[in-house]
Chains A and B, each alone.
Chain A
Amino acid sequence: MMADKEVVRFKINDTEVEAEKGMMLLPVALEYGFEIPHLCYHEALSPGGMCGLCVVEVTKEGRTRVAMSCKYPVEEGIKVATDTEKIRQVRKRAWEVLLARASRSEVIRSMAQAAGVKETTLEKRDDDCILCGLCERVCREIVGANALTITRKGDRREVVPNPEACIACGACVYICPTDCIKMEEKGDERTIVRWNRTLKMQKCKSCGRPFAPIFQLNWIIDKANLSKDFYELCPICRKSS
């Protein structure tokens, strides 16, 4: 079934597994049903290596080291351990970092708690974003709106929005693991709260319901080279007509 691709065989927790060469460890392990915590990985996006939770121990030619499984390409004959004492320690530290980065996030606090980490000794940042970068990657790699950038000032990173480019599509809302990007719709306006982006919605010519931001629709019209009046009707009225 993987005839034209090179297959690599190795072990995860003593189970023989195989994967296409070039794949990263994390998706392979997840596919085989191993539980590895992760917050900044998404299979549709390039690996982030930002949350530090997906660490595993990889033994290669007798030498064992800790590696982030989202960024570690599979190799023939390696042995991967997903839940050792060492790994648990490293993950605990990662949770502490995340707790500090997103001290306001209820989601993170309960996840950390489930992993046995209640508090962090690190300096807390008053936010609920863990800086996983998924929003930036999805906006750039999938949507192509490039409305977000990750800036770095010293060791401080931030996700910075470009208010002119955001089409308020909601992909970042969908992907955010801590739910810190919220979308609101009031009347005929849609707002992506975190990016401070409010766009007017197109009202359906037939039923009068607002259905999508005009800016987004124009962006699509432009991209797909559609007629200007392509989105006069909402998707439902368009099909019913």
Chain B
Amino acid sequence: MAKPENEITWKDLNVGFVVDEPGNASVYRTGDWRSQRPLYNRERCIRCGTCYIYCPDMAIKILEDGYIEHDLYYCKGCGICVQECPTGAITMVEEEEKDGD
């Protein structure tokens, strides 16, 4: 659904309130919830993927070369990756003042 939810009319709804766009929740930004942000030190990363497998928010991507990248659009700042990284390659830092985007 392209419309914001407060503009959806009853006529826009599918029969039975069915949602027929699988995975469309990915438009929803959960990154706003963060008060702290993960900081990744590539030098310390052994490319084991541990952070990736434990992320409850699918906010860690494994890049083609095996290193990782946080997806701050989704990262809620829980800090699990920091705890689980075997080499201490990720730390949490205070989220700076949020700007417009």
Contacts and interface: CB of A to CB of B under 8 A. Distances in A.
B86 A142 contact: no
Contacts, number: 22
A212 to B, nearest CB: 9
Tell me the dominant secondary structure on chain A's binding face: helix
Contacts of A224: 43-46, 87, 89
B79 to A, nearest CB: 11
A223 B67 CA distance: 14
A225 B66 contact: no
Tell me the dominant secondary structure on chain B's binding face: loop
B88 interface: yes
Nearest to A142: B66
Nearest to A141: B66
A1 to B, nearest CB: 10
Interface string B68-91: 000000000000000100111100
B86 A223 contact: no
Contacts of A239: 83
A224 B47 CA distance: 10
B84 to A, nearest CB: 8
Contact of B86 (A144, A225, A235): A235
A215 B85 CA distance: 19
Interface centre among B66, B87, B89 (most CB of A within 10 A): B87
Interface of B: 43-47, 66, 83, 86-89
Interface of A: 142, 144, 220, 223-226, 230, 235, 239
